[in-house]
Amino acid sequence: MEATQLLANEITPFAANEGSLRELQARIKDWLVRNKVRSHPEVVSAVKAAMARREGAGEAGREEGGSSTEEALEVEGEGEKAEEGLGLEGAGKT
């Protein structure tokens, strides 16, 4: 009950304009979905593995003059795969 009252107080400035209220609701929904995905154990382990690879590539890259762009792209791909695995793809989009 208290959380509902706090949320109602926070959205009061948006209540007068229905368009801004819809946008706020869409952004909150997107935020909740992203937090759910980011806290999923598979995503957490994938990010840790990608960071470990990136750290290893960064050290090797400094020695060889390479880049870790591919590793950064792999992190994004793993997050998308995790969203699909959770059945959340497109859930935050309105």
Domain ranges in the chain?
2-86
pLDDT at 88: 55
Residue located via tokens 């690879």? 53
- Rounded to two decimals, the pTM is 0.47
- State phi, psi for 63 to the nearest 5 degrees: -75, -40
Q: Which of 80, 74, 78, 75 is nearest to 92 (CA)?
A: 80
pLDDT tens per residue across all 94 residues of the chain: 798 899 889 888 888 899 998 999 999 999 999 999 999 999 999 999 999 999 887 766 555 554 444 444 444 455 555 555 555 555 555 4
Radius of gyration, CA atoms only, the chain? 19
DSSP codes, 26-94: HHHHHHHHHHHHHHSHHHHHHHHHHHHHHHHHHHHHHHHT---HHHHHHHHHHHHHHHHHHT-TTTT--
pLDDT at 46: 94
pLDDT at 72: 47
pLDDT at 7: 84
15 in Cβ contact with 66 (< 8 Å): no
